[in-house]
Amino acid sequence: MAVRKALGRVLAEDVISTANVPGHDNSAMDGYAVRFADLATSGETTLRLAGTAYAGRAYEGPVEAGECVRIMTGGVIPAGADTVVIQETVRTEDERVVVPPKQRQGQNIRRAGEDLRAGQPAIHAGKRLRPAELGLIASLGVAEVAVKRRLRVAFFSTGDELCSVGTPLKEGEVYDSNRYTIYGMLTRLGCDVIDLGVVRDSPAAIEAAFREASARADAIITSGGVSVGEADFIRGLMAKLGEVAFWKIAMRPGRPMAFGRIGEGREGAFLFGLPGNPVAVMVTFYAFVREALLKMMGVAPISPLPRFRVPCVTPLKKRPGRSEFQRGVLFRENGEWKVRATGSQGSGVLRSMSEANCFIAVEPERGNVEPGELVDVQPFEGLI
């Protein structure tokens, strides 16, 4: 794939440096290339200005004893010179340059191969390519890279009460927001998405959707239908068509989550059965699904979402026994980071996710949190 089109993709093969980077000793600053042996150990040194070295246009000839060469950032270090004195520290007098004492040999020089040596891996397979990697690849003169194909993820919502956006609601119906949320999270992650729409609460319909999804995708995500209600069929069909690895999580929101497989071997697909409540869909996706999909995409190493502790300025209600992911607003006050809850923490209140910029992750053994106590936060920036 062309380098410019590879942004966000996962590298399939190491990118090997074809040359030293930089390709030659060059100046890290605008200044004067000198021979360190010419500099006085104490007091100033006066040198004759012999010429100029520009970036992309080297000075021809060596620097002789008692001489210096004006050099620009990126300019090739002339033969004989081994030190660069920055221009702000010298005085110039016609064709003479006065260098102050206490210079260090080799200062302000970027050595050939300092960034990369020829034959050395510049970027390892498994890296997701960011703007910095695109620039690094381009600096090697490489025009195309091998990348992993995008992970294919099929998803659908279940429920007779769901109505598609754009059609009038009937009594008892709600609009299906979960497919839009899941679409956004998968697209942000870099997956190819297959939207199978709304599937009614019918074992036959759900089984047909599972079979279609497993034939077309590497992974399947559903929302709704994993609780213990009479019309919740997902878990039973998982057992019939594949396997249930686990079901129910000691967390809030997101307790009725299932994970398993539809089909077997290469013909099968991993299944993430997410709850039906909108906030629970997002919490379980980022707590469990995200890292699993990154692993399937070939990303290595996978960095878990960062956490850090800050004081919470609002009280939080919580019962011990399970993890909780409450929605919060991380803010800075008097030079200190703090967090406050967004308000109602119901798992159906999607507005709490829209107003928040972080999760407040409260450990399972903990109870209520009083104002001023420290809590763990996971920022949304770059994630949601």
Q: Is the pLDDT of residue 228 over 70?
A: no
**Within this chain, domains 3-21+119-139 and 308-379 share the same CATH topology:** no
pLDDT digits (tens, 9 = 90+) for 126-145: 999 999 999 999 988 899 99
Q: In CATH terms, is domain 26-110 a member of 3.20.20.80?
A: no
Q: Is the pLDDT of residue 86 over 50?
A: yes
Q: Is the pLDDT of residue 247 over 90?
A: no
Q: Is the pLDDT of residue 227 over 50?
A: yes
CB neighbours of 96 closer than 8 A, spacing ≥ 6? 46, 47, 48, 49
Q: Is the pLDDT of residue 218 over 60?
A: yes
Chain mean position to CA 370: 33
Contact 234, 273 (CB under 8 A): yes
Contact 358, 338 (CB under 8 A): no
- Give helix 203-216 / helix 234-241 axis angle, nearest 10°: 50
* Percent of residues, the chain, with pLDDT higher than 90: 70
Tracing tokens 């200190």 back to the chain, one arrives at 336
The architecture in CATH of the region 155-297 reads 3-Layer(aba) Sandwich (3.40)
Mean predicted confidence (pLDDT) in 53-69: 95
Confidence of residue 345 (pLDDT cuts 50, 70, 90): confident
188-192, 216-220, 246-250, 355-359, range with the lowest pLDDT: 246-250
Most confident of 123-132, 230-239, 241-250: 123-132
Q: Retrieve residue 38's tokens.
A: 């010419």
Compute the mean pLDDT over every residue in the chain, rounded to the nearest whole number. 91
The class of domain 3-21+119-139 in CATH terms is alpha beta
User: Where are the domains positioned within the chain?
Assistant: 3-21+119-139, 26-110, 155-297, 308-379
pLDDT digits (tens, 9 = 90+) for 169-210: 888 888 888 999 999 999 999 999 999 999 988 889 999 999
Q: Is the pLDDT of residue 76 over 80?
A: yes
Confidence of residue 383 (pLDDT cuts 50, 70, 90): low
pLDDT at 231: 46
Q: Is the pLDDT of residue 226 over 80?
A: no
pLDDT digits (tens, 9 = 90+) for 368-381: 999 999 999 999 87
114-118, 258-262, 349-353, range with the lowest pLDDT: 349-353
pLDDT at 224: 86
pLDDT digits (tens, 9 = 90+) for 281-331: 999 999 999 999 999 999 998 877 888 999 999 999 999 999 999 999 999
Contact 270, 292 (CB under 8 A): yes
pLDDT at 232: 67
Confidence of residue 348 (pLDDT cuts 50, 70, 90): low
Q: Retrieve residue 13's tokens.
A: 């093969």
Reference 45, options 108, 82, 77, 89; nearest CA is: 89
pLDDT at 229: 62
User: Regarding the domain delimited by 308-379, which CATH topology (the fold level of the hierarchy) does it fall under?
Assistant: Beta-clip (2.40.340)
| Burial track 211-242 (b if 16+ CB lie within 10 A, e otherwise) | eebbeebbbbbbbbbbbeeeebbbbebbeebb
pLDDT at 174: 87
Contact 318, 324 (CB under 8 A): yes
Confidence of residue 253 (pLDDT cuts 50, 70, 90): confident
